[in-house]
Each structure stands twice: as structure tokens, then as C-alpha cells.
Structure 1
């Protein structure tokens, strides 16, 4: 297939692009390489496949309507994996307009591209953050998610609703994937594992919010990629069992539309996550215990039974394996020398 993948210089997008190329697809990458974090890291991710005979890169911004339209007009992708967005939950509090421009207006431009050029399937990134104030565990796509606690989560919830409306009005098959705390090699420098590793190696205190009582469905990048690719290959249809008098948020009786959680097998306490990191680094962390931050939820736990049932999704990596792989990559990328047993990483 020819697949348009947005965010190919990003953490998840670069891994997805690489996997699609490995299996023989043609990939059109779309990324603006903004400076929200180290552009050098983004370029290094791209360097893994830039120049591949089946890869074409477009340096453009989602908020640029003409650029998005030109991408669809010129390349006519059969399917679309939309992963680009302005990342960073707390960054949104200070830069709300950037989030709406990228995550809402940019998403509208993608939907319009799919509509105008007949794309067969749109797979787009949502987030576990949409569950917000919901405390019923594990989080299920069949539960309401009407109380997001951050603007970032609100923009992703808006994406889900916009996709459903376009699926209904124009018949664009759409699948939304709610990612749960993704980590692994080539990760984002603003994410916890990256920040913790840097601080521990520098001998600096590690800020631990909610006094370490957070629990998260930490999900290794290879498991995420496997789920994304499986979702791309399964085009949703209308749900014949759906009823308007008791509407299921995860599917639709009036549109080819589906929502799925994509997470790990278990929820792990943050202090355990740090303990595994200490073991991999061979160093003890100095923990700075802090209260819960505004917008944070104490725990996430993913119910991925629908993704398992419909697509055979089965996460393979434990936190111990995933953190070890990240540390090996981190030491290699920053030329710090090996300190953990050899294990292949992507």
C-alpha cells in the first residue's frame, strides 16, 4: 500500500514508518520538525529511513491547509496513519493556541484530505488522557470519556468526535487508538523515562509526583507499532449491534468507526518503574517526592480486550525488558558506553 504517515520524525511515527517500509509498503512521511524538543533527535530518527527507495518525506505543517491538500493531491495515499500532534500535556497550559492549531485545525485538514481524495482508511492517534476524571479501572473504550483534565486531552477527544462525524457524513472509515504511556528507544526527551535517566546519570534529584503512587500502563514502542499496523490493515465497518438509545462510545451504527485502547498487560507503579531503571543503570536515584500535578490522573490501566479480540493484539514486552532496551539505546545514542546485558533494540 501507499500510506501517508504524519509525524515521521516523532517517536511513534518514526517506528511506524520503519515497520511499514520493512513489510514492503510505500510511505509518504509528513513532519514539520518543530523545535518543541531537540531537532537533532528528530533528524536522527528520520535518518534511519530517509533515502529509502519507498520513502518520500514532506517537510510541512499540519496547520498549513494548502500543504496538506498538496500532499494528498500529489501522492494519493490509499491509507493514512495520523500520528503528528503538538505533544506535551503541561506545555498546553502555556501554549493553548499551538495545540488547537496543530491538533484540531491540523486534524481537520487531514480529514478533508481523506474526504477529497478517497482514502480507504484513517488511523489516528488518541490518548488515554481522554479518560480524565474517570476512575473506573481498567479504562474501557465502552465507558464515557466526557471529562478530560487537560487541553491536550480535550483536543484528542475532539479528534475522536470529528472523525466520527466525517465517517458518518462522507463514509471515511476511521479508527482511533488511545495510546497508554508509550516508552522505548528513540523516545521523547520530555517523557518520564528520558528525564529520569538523564537525572540519575547526572547525579541530580528525580522529581517524583504524587509521591510515586502513580500507576501507569507503560507500553513498549514495539507493542504500540504492532497494534497500529494491525489497526491499519483492518478497515472498520458500521456496528450492527449498536443502538442509539444506549450508544456505545467505542463503535457506531451510523458510521464505519472504531475506538481502541492500546496498552500493556498490567499497570505498574511509578516507584517500580524507577526501581527497574536504577537496576539497568546500575545507579541509585535520589528521589524528590512531590504532590500530584494539576491535570495528572493518579492511575491508568488499559482494557485492551477489544483490540486483542478483533486484531489479535498481544503485548510482548515487560517493563523490565523495555526499560533495559531503552537504557541500551540511550547509552549508545549519547555515547555513554554499555552497562547492561546485550539485547536487541529497534
Structure 2
């Protein structure tokens, strides 16, 4: 993959490397020849993929990103050239239940990472991963673009909006540093893929219900989301990181990495497609339980900016994303976690080469 060759031999720090997207990203970086360094909170529960790929991590450290001294010590010790900041409390519903933890991780943690990177002269680029939920959502069918107003009514969304504003501020502060430091922000849609064990996420909730022989409980059947396989936004992150390492100042900006409009479907439609692939199972609509808060009904992203300026466009359709995800969980060829992930990456790269000139 010639567009990502600049990552070979580079020291790359991934915060949140034991989480769902962080582990997939760490493996892909390893396959691209990068020297992968990880920093995560010890004992992260969502570590299915990490358990299968941990040996691709060259160095790692554990701690809370909300603790500046620990995080700064790790950044100074590892001296990375590029940082992907994914460490965060990643669930809307957990934000309602634990608002202080959510703001501490997503706001203070991002602040600590940006300051630690600013002080460490080895760092040439930082990609801060926020969320499509950082936008001020008024419930309209508008597909958000990067210069839309930020905001959020729930702790998770508000925290991500704060992180986006801080990233913008630190981008200007970094420009005053004697050594170049470029900071970008990535906003992705609802990602799916093998190995996600999180609660309050549709695919893992469906897998658990089906494996237990229970009906799938869905809270918001009419809610529309921009569904995509995790490899699609991760490819965007990699392109963005490569551009920062190359000194592309225009890449130091905010970027949407969403799917095609055809992949923005309702929860109920996604469930029906999943059940058709699985070959069995039923669903039922359930009300919000105590402690569960409301979520936006419609959320869509406009990713034309990334296509025009980074050359990134969605590779897998929703059908391909669901098919690869279902195959990962059902594992008909009895492959290991590492083998399943590597096969998906190989399939994605093959489809990428057919669709995007190298």
C-alpha cells in the first residue's frame, strides 16, 4: 500500500490500544511495518481483539489518561513520532450513568495528551479521534460537515465537543512550537466489526442474544446511524497520520470519516439484515431502562472533504461490512483472533487497491 509506506519504521503511539478500534489500528500499523507503542488503562474490559494481537505491540504502558504525570512520563519515555489518541469512555449510555468519569476521560484525558505531545519534541503529528456525536444535533436529517456547530446534550456528546474545541486550540498552540507539530481531529460514524464486546452497542448486543438463544432487544428501531466497518475510518486515520508525518499543514484540521449515504439506515433495517446473514433469531422492541438516556434520532456525516483532500472514500458497502463482521463472529474456518483480523485487513486492502489508485 504505497500511500501508507511512510509509516514503515515510524514510532507510533496508540492510546486506547486495548480497545476495539485501538487494537484493530495497532495490528494494521504493525502489518504496515510501524513500531507500535500502546498506552491504555489497565484491565480494560473490551479487549477481545487485543488478546489476539497483543504480540504485535512493541512496547506498552498502562495508566489513566486523566493522570497527566503518568501519561506525560509514557510519552517522554517512548518518544513517538506520531500519536493516535483513541483512549476514551466510548459509550453514550455509560456517559449518562457515569458523567464524571466520562468528562474526566474524554476531556481531561484529551487535554493531557495534547499537552504531553506539545512538550515532547519527538512528536511530529497527533490524530485526536473524537466522534460524529460532537456536533450539535437538532434532530434534522442534515448530514454534518466539519464546520457545523459543535455541542451535545448528553455527557458523552458534550465531552467530545469539548475535546474537539481543545484540539482546535492546541493546533494553533502547536504552530508556535520551534519543532513542527501538526494536530488533526477525526470524527467517525457508528463502527462495526469483529471483536467488539461493548455493552449498549448493537452488533455485540445482537451476537450475545443470538448465542444465548434470546430475542434481540432494540431500544430505538427508527433511529438512523452512519454504519461502517471499523477498517473504513481506520484507513482514514492512517491516511491522516501519514499526511501529518509528511508535513502536510492542510491535514492539520477536522475530518469526517463516514460511510456512503446508502449505509445510513435505521436500527431495525440493520437488525433485519443481520438476522438474514445469521440465518436465525428474532428481535423485540424494548423501552429504555432505568439509567438509560435519550439519543439523537438521526445522525449522518458528510465526508466529501476527506475524499477531495485526502483521497479517502468508503471502501466497503454496508452489505460487505455486515458480511465480514458476521463471518468474524461465526468463524466458520475456526481461525484465531489474529488470523480473522488479518484476513479482514487483507480483504479490505485488496478491495481498496481495486477502487483507489495507489
TM-score bracket relative to the smaller structure: 0.7 to 0.9
Q: How many residues align?
A: 315
Give the unaligned 5+ runs of structure 2.
1-9, 176-180, 335-341, 346-358
Q: Do residues 145 (structure 1) and 155 (structure 2) align?
A: no
1:163 to 145, 167, 183: 167
In structure 1, how many angstroms separate the alpha carbons of the residues matched to 2:219 and 2:51?
A: 35
Residue in structure 2 matched with residue 202 of structure 1 by the alignment: 212
Residue in structure 1 matched with residue 127 of structure 2 by the alignment: 123
In structure 2, relative to structure 1, the CA distance for the partners of 1:304 and 1:97 (3 Å cut) is: same
Higher helix share: 2
In structure 1, how many angstroms separate the alpha carbons of the residues matched to 2:71 and 2:343?
A: 37
- Alpha carbon RMSD of aligned pairs, Å? 2.5
1:231 to 240, 257, 260: 240
User: How big is the shift at 1:262?
Assistant: 0.8
Residue in structure 2 matched with residue 220 of structure 1 by the alignment: 229
1:259 to 254, 259, 283: 254
2:280 to 258, 280, 283: 283
Q: Deviations over 1:201-244 (max 9, x none)?
A: 4332322233x2111110111112111100111127666xxxxx
In structure 2, how many angstroms separate the alpha carbons of the residues matched to 1:145 and 1:46?
A: 32
Taking structure 1 as the reference length, the TM-score comes to 0.84
User: How big is the shift at 1:136?
Assistant: 4.9
Q: Is the 8 A contact 1:183 1:193 kept in 2?
A: yes
Q: Is the 8 A contact 2:225 2:300 kept in 1?
A: yes
Helix, strand or coil for the counterpart of 1:260?
strand
Q: Is the 8 A contact 1:209 1:289 kept in 2?
A: yes
Q: Is the 8 A contact 2:219 2:286 kept in 1?
A: yes
In structure 1, how many angstroms separate the alpha carbons of the residues matched to 2:84 and 2:111?
A: 14
Give the unaligned 5+ runs of structure 1.
240-255, 336-342
The 5 A counterparts of 1:1-346 are: 1-35=10-44, 37=45, 42=47, 44-52=48-56, 55-118=58-121, 119-134=123-138, 135-146=140-151, 148-171=152-175, 172-190=181-199, 191-210=201-220, 212-235=221-244, 257-266=252-261, 267-288=264-285, 290=287, 294-332=293-331, 344-346=343-345
User: How big is the shift at 1:270?
Assistant: 1.6
Q: Is the 8 A contact 1:207 1:290 kept in 2?
A: no
Q: Deviations over 1:188-212 (max 9, x none)?
A: 33211110222134332322233x2
